[in-house]
A and B are shown apart, each in its own frame.
Chain A
Amino acid sequence: MRRADILREVAPLLREHLTVCNIGIPSQELHAIDDQPSNFYMLGTMGLASSIGLGLALAQEKTVIVIDGDGSVLTNLGTLPTIANNEAPNFVLMIVDNGSYGSTGDQPTYTGKRTSLAGIAKASGCENVIECEAKDVPEQLAAAVAARRMTILVAKCESGNEKMPVITMDPVAIRDRFMSAVRA
C-alpha cells in the first residue's frame, strides 16, 4: 500500500474531523480523493504540518488529525518535544512513513535506513506512540480518535505517488473555508 491507498481508506474518518495535510503530493492526493472544507491544505512551508495542527488542537476542542510525512517530520524534529510537552487530547499526528521524500521524486529518507520516528517520538516524551503497517491504519486511527488521547501514529507504507492535479484553490479561500469548518 502507498500513501494514496491509506488516504482512500481513512477519508471517511478524516471527513468527520479537522485535517491538516502536509505540503505537496499528500495534499494533492487528499484533495483529489476527498476534498472537504475541514481539510487544511499546505501549499508551501515544508515541515510545519504537525506544528500547525498542534496550535490548532490547543486553541479549540475539535479533534485534529495531521497527515504528515517522514521527510516532513525529519525537517522539523523539534516538533516532537513540543508535542510531548503540550498535551492536547484532541491531537493525532499520523506520519505516513514511506521512507522517501515523495513530493521531490522519492529520494530516500533516513527512516528507510537506521532511523525510527517512533523511537524519536518516544524519546521526546510522547506517551502514545503506535507504529503499524499500512493495512492497520484505519483501525488504529479510529481507535486513537475515539480514545481522545494525544497519539503519534507512524504508518509504514510503500513509497510512490499518484498523479493528481496541483491544487489551484486560493490559499485565503482554503483558510477561510477551513476556519468556517472549525467554527461550525
Chain B
Amino acid sequence: MNLAKKIVDDFVSNDVSFITTVPCKQLASVIDEVENNDSIYHIPANKEDEGIGLCAGAFMGGKRPAIIMQNTAIGVTINTLVTLTQFYRMPLPMLISYRGELGEPVACQVEMAVHTKALLAQLNIPTYHFHRSDDVEEFDRILKYTFMANKPVAILTDATFWGGY
C-alpha cells in the first residue's frame, strides 16, 4: 500500500485543503504528495508554532487545515496549542512523525520520544499511534472525528509504520 498516497487521499476526501509542513525525513513522501496535489494549498512553515498560527487563520477563513511535523515540535507548540487552538476551540489534525521509536538510529530522538505521549496526554489531546501499516485504515475516521470535535488531534506515525528508515 502507498501510505503517503492513502493519507493525502483521505485529507482530500475530508476537504482538508490547507496544509502546513515542517519537514522530517520520515514524512518526506507525504510532504511530496501534499506538494503535488492540486486541491491542497501547501505552505511550508519555518517553525511549527508559526504553522499552527497559519492553520488557525485558514480555519477562520473557511478552510479545513492540517499540520505535518515531527514529534520534537511538541516542545515548541505547547503554548500555541493551548492558548490558540484549544482556547478558541479550533480543529487541527496533526500528522506527526514519531521519531525515537524502534529502529531509530539517532539516540537524541529517543529523548523527546519518551515525553511525546505524556505531553499529549497532559494537554488532553486525543492521540492515535500508527505502528502497523494497516493502522492507516483509521486515518479517514480520525479526520472526521477531529472536525466533529473541533480539537487538535495527534496521529503519531513511527518508523515501523513507514517501513523502517
* Partner of B83 from A44, A50, A78, A86 at Cβ < 8 Å: A44
Question: Are B87 and A171 within 8 A (Cβ)?
Answer: yes
Most buried by B among A45, A79, A179: A45
Question: Are B57 and A56 within 8 A (Cβ)?
Answer: yes
Q: Which residue of A lies closest to B64 (CB)?
A: A59
Tell me if A54 counts as interface (CB < 8 A to partner B): yes
Q: Which residue of A lies closest to B83 (CB)?
A: A44
Q: Which residue of B lies closest to A56 (CB)?
A: B57
Given the contacts A48-B49, A78-B46, A82-B46, A56 and B87 also touching, CB distance less than 8 Å = no
Question: Are A58 and B46 within 8 A (Cβ)?
Answer: no
Q: How far is B56's CA from A175's CA once the two chains are assembled, in angstroms?
A: 10
CB distance from A137 to the nearest CB of B (A): 23
CB distance from A156 to the nearest CB of B (A): 25
Question: Are B54 and A54 within 8 A (Cβ)?
Answer: yes
Instruction: Tell me the chain A residues, 41-55 only, with Cβ under 8 Å from chain B.
Output: 42-48, 50-55
Q: How far is B47's CA from A56's CA once the two chains are assembled, in angstroms?
A: 18
Interface bin, chain B: 20 to 34
Tell me if A174 counts as interface (CB < 8 A to partner B): yes
* Partner of A54 from B44, B46, B57 at Cβ < 8 Å: B57
Determine the chain A residues whose CB is within 8 A of the CB of B84 once the complex forms: 42, 44-45, 48, 52
Determine the chain B residues whose CB is within 8 A of the CB of A44 once the complex forms: 79, 82-84, 87
Tell me if B23 counts as interface (CB < 8 A to partner A): no
Give the A-binding residues of B (Cβ under 8 A).
18, 41, 43-47, 49-63, 65, 79-80, 82-84, 87-90
